[in-house]
Amino acid sequence: MASADYLRFADHMKPGLLFPRTPFPARSGHISDYLTNLVLPQKSCYKVTNCCQRFKVPSNNGGRAMRVDGDFQAAYRELKGRMMACAEADGHPFLPNPEPEGPVDYVFICMEPSLGRWARTAEEAKSKVDAGFRNFLSSTETFILHFCIRRYLCESTKRYHITDFSKGAMLVKGAEQERTQRFDRWYPLLQEEIHLVATSDATIVAVGKVVSQYLKRRDFHRPVKPVIHYSCLAGRARSAEIAGREEAFEAFRGSVSIEDMVATAKAVLRESHMPVEMYNEELSRLSKSQLSTSRQQLIFSYKLAFESMRA
């Protein structure tokens, strides 16, 4: 593009980044719907590019998952590089997601990755990521999410992608500080990510009220279906989901075992190319976990929500 086609904006990491003045060519119902009205924060840590120019989308794919090719993966990794830069500009270690193989039928949007059991410090987090660690692969609750998606939502021909709104890992106690401002900085990157990884008729799922309410305030360009967050801190939400359904829950209770979780975890970790040592560590930890009443309430809640989405 000629320089006249760009609008310069301030950037606290790389001054002089360029932003397209006009919307990109895009799949119907995607990026052109939001770029024309996009409001940029005064400071930002991203550079929006036209991902759809980097891989070809068959016009007759009907929104279904398509054959993987190097162009999609190249586009995703280029976007991932800018996500890493944004996380580092925020002062947090970047925690990447397992890379999708191609456009998916369901995209789950969570909040932000947490430091904790998998890494106590930023330095440890960077070291583990360099060794192959990836997001959404390290707690019983995240494997519950994977399990429920696969058992109650995704048919064998469907694919899904789980992501965080912002992708810099931080301590839970500090995550709420300036979250809105942080989400503002990450919002265009999230839009790009969804445009790239989601099929034209993909279902977008907000995991937790924080993400759901933010996307609603921003008049997000696609319908969003909310579900409760899997965090242990959201225990009251799990109990609330059971209210009025106690009899159905009691009939369901005990129908899912930790062995079911381990079987799902094996598949997820294998598909995510988790290094052998980390693979074994996660499976060993998960096999020693218990499906408490609260965790069974979470599974039951996701079962109801996902079966409703399929109906």
Pick from 120, 116, 235, 96: nearest CA to 168: 96
291-306: average pLDDT:
97
pLDDT for position 107: 98
Q: How far is CA 253 from CA 101, 146, 246, 298, in A?
A: 34, 19, 10, 11
In this predicted model, what pLDDT tens digit does every residue of 12-44 receive, in sequence order? 333 333 333 333 333 333 333 333 334 444 444
Strand partners of residue 114: 170
| Number of residues that make up the chain | 311
Q: Which two tokens stand for residue 276?
A: 């052998």
Q: Which two tokens stand for residue 241?
A: 């989901």
Residue % of the chain over a pLDDT of 70: 78
- Examine the pLDDT at 146 and tell me if it is beyond 90: yes
Return the H-helix or E-strand segment holding 38: none
Average pLDDT for the chain: 82
In this predicted model, what pLDDT tens digit does every residue of 76-111 receive, in sequence order? 999 999 999 999 999 999 999 999 999 999 999 999
Query: Between 168 and 20, where is the model more confident?
Result: 168
pLDDT for position 4: 35
pLDDT for position 233: 84
pLDDT band at 60, cuts 50/70/90?
Answer: very low
- The C-alpha atoms of residue 154 and residue 156 are separated, in whole angstroms, by 6
- Examine the pLDDT at 141 and tell me if it is beyond 90: yes
pLDDT band at 45, cuts 50/70/90?
Answer: low
CATH number for the segment(s) 67-310: 3.40.470
Q: What is the DSSP string of 248-302?
A: HHHHHTTSS-HHHHHHHHHHHHHHTT--HHHHHHHHHHHHT----HHHHHHHHHH
pLDDT for position 42: 42
- Examine the pLDDT at 5 and tell me if it is beyond 50: no
Are the CB atoms for 99 and 77 separated by under 8 Å?
yes
pLDDT band at 68, cuts 50/70/90?
Answer: low
Q: Which two tokens stand for residue 294?
A: 């609260």
In this predicted model, what pLDDT tens digit does every residue of 174-208 receive, in sequence order? 788 889 999 999 999 999 999 999 999 999 999 99
- The C-alpha atoms of residue 238 and residue 228 are separated, in whole angstroms, by 8
pLDDT for position 1: 40
- Examine the pLDDT at 277 and tell me if it is beyond 80: yes
pLDDT for position 30: 35
